[in-house]
Amino acid sequence: MYRYRIYTENKDIPYIKYRVSQDFTGFTLFYGTEYYEEAEEQSVTIEIVDNAELAKVKELAEDIKAHNCQQAVLVTQEIIKHVVC
């Protein structure tokens, strides 16, 4: 099991929700403030816990990046060793 996070600009949230839900049945959005090169912008982190391949998550991130006309979107992957249901 993996935890993926996509870090992106807080822009067109309805599209982000729609696009993520096309590939994943569950996800969490975390809203925050991002700082880069002394600039501040509102951000959203999309967290997905799934057995999906990294390539699927990268494709999603690329779609969001292109849709929101961003220079970059960060994707992280962590292995989850213990799952309690």
Q: Where are the domains of the chain?
A: 2-79
The rounded distance, in Å, linking the Cα atoms of 45 and 9 is 8
pLDDT at 82 over 90: no
> Model-level pTM?
0.92
pLDDT digit string (tens) for 30-52? 999 999 888 899 999 999 999 99
Please tell me the distance from the alpha carbon of residue 49 to that of residue 78, in angstroms, as a whole number: 9
Report whether pLDDT(7) > 90: yes
Fold of the domain built from segment(s) 2-79: Alpha-Beta Plaits (3.30.70)
Strands 28-36 and 39-50: antiparallel
